[in-house]
Every structure is written in structure tokens, then in C-alpha cells.
Amino acid sequence: MLSMNVNDFVLTLALVVLGLGLLTFILGVIIILVKVMGKATTTIANETTKLAQKGITEEVAGLVGNASTMLDSLKDFVRTAAGMGIFLVMIGILLMSGSFVLITQVH
């Protein structure tokens, strides 16, 4: 059986929390970089804007309505991806801070 004293247990717990914090932080940054700043998202937004302008100049109401709905959905997608990425980054920082507090408690 593995025998651990209190300091070993706290240090092990701190290392596990630090690892989870780093993983969460890195995943948040990846989500922000890939989903929010992706080139495909920018391309879709630009094409939708062009489509809406074409519909306005040609007075095609249905085309404008569909394009504006698509643009609103795209904005919501970007906002949601950014929100999730920022949330994961904040949780990662919180976990790493908790790990630091645990490590400072080891004598």
C-alpha cells in the first residue's frame, strides 16, 4: 500500500489541479484562435454582406431577409465561440491560481 503524508497528498493534488488548469487554459486559447479568428468565418461574413447589398440594390426582399438572418446567426456563432474560449481561459487561470495556493501550503 502506498503511504502518503499530508504534504505529499497536498503536493499531488496541487500538481493535478495545475495540469487541469493548463489543459483548460490551452483549450480556451485554441478555441479563441481557431473558431473566432478563423479565416472561414471572415469569408462567410464578407460574402453574406455582399449578398445582402446585392439584394438591396436589386430590391429582392426575400434575399435580404435570408442574408440578414444568416449574418445574425454567424454573429451569434462567433460570440458563442468567443464566450466559451474566454470562459475556459478564466477557469484555467483560476485552477492554476488554486494550485499555487495549494503549493504554498506545503511546509
Q: What is the pLDDT of residue 91?
A: 92
Domain hosting 52: range is 22-105
In a domain, 1, yes or no: no
Which tens digit of pLDDT belongs to each residue from 37-62?
Answer: 666 666 666 666 666 666 555 555 55
In a domain, 94, yes or no: yes
- Tell me the pLDDT band of 20, cut-offs 50, 70 and 90: very high
Q: How far is CA 28 from the centre of its chain?
A: 4
In a domain, 55, yes or no: yes
In a domain, 15, yes or no: no
Q: What is the pLDDT of residue 4?
A: 83
In a domain, 6, yes or no: no
The model scores a pTM over 0.85: no
Average pLDDT on 8-25 reads: 93
In a domain, 75, yes or no: yes
In a domain, 65, yes or no: yes
In a domain, 4, yes or no: no
DSSP readout, 6-59?
HHHHHHHHHHHHHHHHHHHHHHHHHHIIIIIS-HHHHHHHHHHHHHHHHHHHTT
CA dist., res. 74 & res. 68, Å (int) = 10
- Tell me the pLDDT band of 6, cut-offs 50, 70 and 90: confident
Which tens digit of pLDDT belongs to each residue from 70-102?
Answer: 667 666 666 677 778 888 898 999 999 999 988
| Structural domain count, the chain | 1
